[in-house]
């Protein structure tokens, strides 16, 4: 995370930063950077473990940290998150313990899903974070249905519905945005546009000027912003959440990011990304951009940065040790948590 001259600078004065983040802006920045550092360290560690055969699969969120951390910090405990594929850091910021997330990746006996869900697909009810299914776009209509239920129950929560650029080509995108707009539901649609739906570039998904430009056709507002700029993402998400909470209805935010790692541990982007893509992505690295800005404004001395990096590494290693020390799920747990009740055997006369 050492920024260099190739990193695209964030052009904010301290006054503009305060306006974007609120009166406690320096504390918010400190928390944001710590969470980004932890997310980056965890991604790197998990990718290494997958290559060593110690876990079976991993999908990193490297390059999307500004979006995820801003969503976690800007949302409230009343809000709910329906993730796409790379929003696990949102759950961590909202209260999912890292060790519990590690157990879910290893699929061990302490995994709340007992090893029956893919890695990187956690669920965290206390954090109001719903497990993803990996079926493209389905979470969009599910999030809208949940928002309808919140309205019906007169609860204050807003639903954050995340999805990638590829999911905008799904039927659920149309159905979800249309239903939310017609019923004026408290939903913030977040299109995390990392410009690649695995190997399909964004320009093959739509002929529209942007994904945000699709919003007016459904009767809602759409805004495109730099998803590698923590200040911009936090400001826009905060405004969208406040508006939806006050009855202002849904909004579509297109958060343009760069995928700095393969789509998943099963992918090789060198086969389809053009020359220079990785270099351009590195220039827009959200962690390096925020780090450089904080250093330039004397908010991140070298010793503090080193301590944050060391603390992140220690936390990640402790979570991995705990997960690797846990036994695999017992075979009898395969049918637990499936039915509300289970009889001891077939009823008399049914065989």
Residues noted as catalytic: 259, 263, 272
220: Cα separation from own chain's centroid = 23
Q: Determine contact, residues 214/208, Cβ cutoff 8 Å.
A: yes
b/e string for 234-273 if b means 16 or more Cβ within 10 A? bbbbbbbbebbbeeebbbbbbbbbbbbbbbbbebebeeeb
Question: Please, what is the Cα angle at 112 between 107 and 113, to 5 degrees?
Answer: 60
Distance CA 35, CA 32 (A): 5
110 closest CA partner among 323, 349, 333: 323
How far, rounded to the nearest angstrom, does the alpha carbon of residue 235 sit from its chain's CA centroid?
17
Q: Which two tokens stand for residue 62?
A: 């490297």
Residue 121 contacts residue 132 (beta carbons within 8 Å)? yes
DSSP state of 196: E
CB atoms within 10 A of CB 123: 16
Query: For residues 328 and 121, what is the distance between their CA atoms, to the nearest angstrom?
Result: 18
- Burial annotation 307-334 (CB, 10 A radius, 16+ → b, else e): ebeeebbebbeebbebbeebeebeeeee
Backbone angles phi, psi at 112, to 5 degrees: -55, -25
Rounded to an integer, what is the distance from CA 46 to the centroid of its chain? 16
Rg (CA), the chain: 21
Q: Count the neighbouring beta carbons within 10 Å of the beta carbon of residue 346.
A: 8
CA dist., res. 315 & res. 224, Å (int):
35
């Amino acid at each position: 995370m050492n920024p260099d001259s190739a990193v695209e600078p964030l052009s904010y004065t301290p006054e503009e930063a305060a306006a974007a983040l609120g009166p406690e802006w320096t504390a918010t920045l400190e928390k944001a950077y710590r969470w980004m550092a932890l997310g980056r360290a965890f991604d790197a560690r998990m990718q290494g473990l997958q290559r060593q055969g110690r876990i079976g699969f991993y999908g990193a969120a490297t390059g999307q940290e500004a979006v995820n951390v801003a969503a976690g910090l800007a949302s409230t405990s009343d809000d709910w998150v329906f993730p796409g594929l790379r929003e696990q850091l949102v759950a961590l910021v909202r209260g999912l313990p890292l060790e519990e997330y590690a157990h879910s990746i290893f699929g061990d006996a302490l995994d709340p899903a007992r090893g029956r869900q893919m890695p990187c697909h956690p669920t965290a009810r206390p954090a109001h974070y719903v497990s993803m299914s990996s079926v493209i776009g389905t979470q969009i209509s599910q999030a809208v249905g949940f928002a309808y239920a919140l309205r019906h129950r007169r609860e204050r929560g807003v639903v954050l519905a995340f999805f990638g650029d590829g999911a905008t080509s799904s039927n659920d995108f149309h159905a979800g945005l249309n239903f939310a707009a017609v019923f004026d539901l408290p939903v913030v649609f977040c299109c995390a546009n990392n410009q690649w739906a695995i190997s399909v570039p964004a320009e093959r998904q739509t002929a529209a000027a942007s994904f945000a430009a699709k919003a007016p056709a459904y009767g809602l507002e759409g805004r495109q912003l730099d998803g590698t700029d923590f200040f911009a993402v936090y400001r826009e998400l905060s405004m969208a959440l406040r508006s939806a909470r006050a009855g202002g209805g849904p909004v579509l935010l297109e958060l343009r990011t760069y995928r700095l790692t393969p789509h998943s541990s099963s992918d090789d982007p060198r086969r389809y990304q053009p020359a220079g893509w990785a270099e351009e992505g590195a220039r827009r690295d959200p962690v390096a951009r925020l780090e450089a800005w904080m250093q330039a404004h004397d908010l991140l001395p070298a010793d503090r940065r080193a301590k944050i990096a060391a603390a992140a590494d220690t936390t990640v290693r402790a979570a991995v040790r705990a997960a690797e020390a846990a036994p695999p799920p017992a075979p009898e747990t395969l049918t637990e948590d499936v039915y509300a009740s289970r009889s001891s055997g077939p009823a008399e006369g049914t065989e």
